[in-house]
């Protein structure tokens, strides 16, 4: 297994409708991804932060045993910051402020030791940056990318190029509709597959996820969670669990993808139980395996 992720690393401030607030906590798509994937094996991270990045946050990567050789603390730059507030439904959110900072600069170079990576996850960031990174991995076996409404609206041409270079795309249902103009999730996924990738995973938040693959369509519910403190990073930890499992199984068949999606679902269900990486930091692999068993038993009707 040689799984690598690149994406955002950020300092988040998050407000939830019950009045709770997490101020300046560790966040970013690649962080949630890497923490989630770490339960299945080694994870390599490529990304940059600014001089303002707290030392304690680096310690948090260490906890998950993430390989941070590719993490650059860039002098004279500032870390990406996001401040968001969830609406009453705990699904939709508004961005109060966002400062791209170092995220608007070049990615750090990929360390030589990373270049044999076979499983590549391009967490949500500018599609040009995602594409540029790919050239570094001549032995790549599976490339999956995430994207967001911003790039669909502003960088559709580059994103369309990227879709021809990747094996799988992960995105939200609203983003799938924005990209294709189609509100039926499966038909939207059909259209995306026609644009290049072999499969698409559409994330539906509290309503689960759907895999569209040439060998079949797999719809899974979310884990039925009573406790949702902060949904930030749910989609990224879902992708981390999914890719982590795929890399550990070293198999990308339809059946393994369905199983991987179930693992992603279960990791995400823990992630939302606290702000930032709060819950994953205390999560043991045995707990994860137990909930996975419970989840798959529930589905075995």
Site string for a second copy, 33-72 (x = CB under 8 A): ----------------------------------------
261 near a second copy, judged by CB under 8 A: yes
Q: Is 222 in the site for a second copy (CB under 8 A)?
A: yes
Contacts of 151-158 with CB under 8 Å at 24 or more apart are 151/126, 151/127, 152/178, 152/179, 153/178, 155/126, 155/127, 155/128, 158/126, 158/127, 158/128, 158/131
How far apart CA 101 and CA 204 sit, in angstroms, is: 29
**Would you count residue 104 as binding a second copy (CB under 8 A)?**
no
Under the binding rule (CB under 8 A), the answer on residue 225 touching a second copy is: yes
Please tell me the distance from the alpha carbon of residue 230 to that of residue 233, in angstroms, as a whole number: 8
Choice between 154 and 183, CB closer to a second copy: 183
Interaction of residue 214 with a second copy, rule CB under 8 A: no
Question: Which range of residues in 69-77, 102-110, 123-131, 216-224 is near a second copy by CB under 8 A?
Answer: 216-224
Q: Give 1 or 217: the residue with its C-beta nearer to a second copy.
A: 217
d(CA 130, CA 144): 10
Which one among 42, 207, 273, 278 touches a second copy, defined by CB under 8 A?
207
Burial degree of 174 (CB within 10 A; 0-12, 13-18, 19+): middle
Which residue is listed with tokens 């770490």?
A: 38
Looking at the Cβ atoms of 70 and 231, the one nearer to a second copy is: 231
Residue 300 sits in the site that holds a second copy (CB under 8 A): yes
Residue 67 pairs in a beta bridge with 44
Among 104, 150, 187, 194, binds a second copy (CB under 8 A): 187
Q: Select the residue interacting with a second copy from 20, 153, 154, 183 (CB under 8 A).
A: 183
Q: Should residue 224 be labelled a site residue for a second copy when binding is judged by CB under 8 A?
A: yes
- Single out the residue of 108, 111, 196, 221 in contact with a second copy (rule: CB under 8 A): 221
Q: Given the complex with a second copy, which of 114 and 292 has the nearer CB atom?
A: 292
CB of 209 to a second copy, least distance (A): 9
**Contact by Cβ (8 Å): 50, 33:** no
Whether the CB-CB separation of 178 and 184 falls below 8 Å is answered with: no
Strands 80-86 and 93-99: antiparallel
């Amino acid at each position: 297994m040689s799984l690598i992720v690149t994406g955002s690393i950020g300092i988040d401030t998050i407000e939830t409708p019950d009045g709770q607030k997490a101020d300046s906590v560790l966040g970013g798509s690649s962080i949630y991804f890497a923490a989630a994937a770490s339960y299945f094996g080694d994870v390599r991270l490529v990304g940059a932060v600014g001089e303002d990045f707290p030392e304690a946050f680096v310690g948090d990567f260490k906890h998950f045993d993430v390989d941070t050789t590719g993490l650059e603390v860039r002098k004279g730059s500032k870390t990406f910051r996001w401040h968001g507030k969830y609406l009453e439904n705990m699904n939709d959110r508004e961005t109060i402020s966002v400062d791209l900072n170092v995220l608007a600069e070049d990615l750090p170079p990929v360390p030589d030791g990373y270049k044999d990576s076979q499983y590549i996850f391009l967490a949500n960031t500018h599609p040009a940056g995602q594409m540029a990174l790919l050239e570094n991995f001549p032995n790549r076996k599976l490339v999956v990318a995430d994207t967001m409404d911003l790039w669909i609206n502003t960088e559709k041409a580059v994103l369309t190029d990227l879709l021809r270079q990747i094996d799988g795309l992960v995105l939200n249902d609203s983003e799938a509709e924005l990209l294709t103009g189609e509100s039926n999730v499966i038909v939207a996924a059909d259209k995306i597959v026609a644009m290049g990738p072999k499969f698409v995973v559409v994330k539906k938040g509290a309503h689960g996820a759907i895999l569209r693959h040439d060998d079949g369509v797999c719809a899974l519910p979310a884990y039925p969670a009573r406790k949702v403190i902060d949904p930030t990073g749910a989609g990224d930890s879902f992708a981390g669990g999914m890719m982590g499992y795929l890399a550990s199984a070293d198999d990308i068949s339809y059946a393994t993808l369905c199983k991987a999606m179930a693992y992603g679902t279960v990791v995400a269900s823990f992630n939302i139980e606290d702000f930032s990486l709060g819950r994953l930091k205390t999560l043991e692999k045995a707990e994860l395996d137990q909930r996975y068993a419970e989840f798959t038993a529930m589905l075995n009707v």
